[in-house]
Amino acid sequence: MIKIYDDYVKKSVSDYIEQILLRSGTFNWNLNVRSMTYDRDEKTANIFRKEPDIFTRSFNEDREWICKLLNINPQQIIRLRANLIMPQGIDLRHGPYHIDVSGQPPPGQKYVTAIYYVNDNSAPTVIKDGIIRKYVFPKKGRMVFFDNNHLHAQYFPPFDKRSVININLWQTT
């Protein structure tokens, strides 16, 4: 199951979310040091970073406001976080394929991943559904829902920062 909803929220709401996360200067991003990998240049022996700067922020006690704006039941949330990837220049790689929640859900439930796109940019999310790859291009206000067992990855943005809100939740089957 992969479902894409354009204009998932009203334009005024998507503008507000973008303002808070990307334009206000008050949203507390954290550099995701776990995503950093390094390599060594064979000729110079210099060490360099292979990935762009990736910033995250988990919503824990302060999740109510974003749940209300995105019409998500906070009781169903397993994890809720914002991600920000800085421009990388022309680089056609994506991050590693992964699933967000490991383990089996309780009987009668399934895990679902949702990605809300905070801003427009040209770095898609690629979702594997069996042998099919679905590319979802970021559009401000777009939300995509898919079964948690689908491997997915994000492409690195060439020119504009890429910001999403990643929501992992359970649903009754």
Q: Which of 104, 82, 96, 108 is nearest to 156 (CA)?
A: 96
User: What does 125-167 look like in DSSP terms, one character per residue?
Assistant: EEEEETTEEEEE---TT-EEEEETTS-EEEBPPSSS-EEEEEE
Where are the extended beta strands (E) located within the chain? 2-5, 30-31, 38-40, 47-49, 54-58, 77-85, 109-117, 125-129, 132-136, 143-147, 152-154, 162-172
The model carries a pTM of: 0.87
- Count structural domains, the chain: 1
Least trusted range by pLDDT, from 51-60, 93-102, 114-123: 51-60
* Domain at 132, CATH number: 2.60.120.620
Q: Domain span at residue 104?
A: 2-172
pLDDT digits (tens, 9 = 90+) for 16-73: 999 999 998 888 888 875 554 445 556 666 554 455 578 889 888 889 999 999 999 9
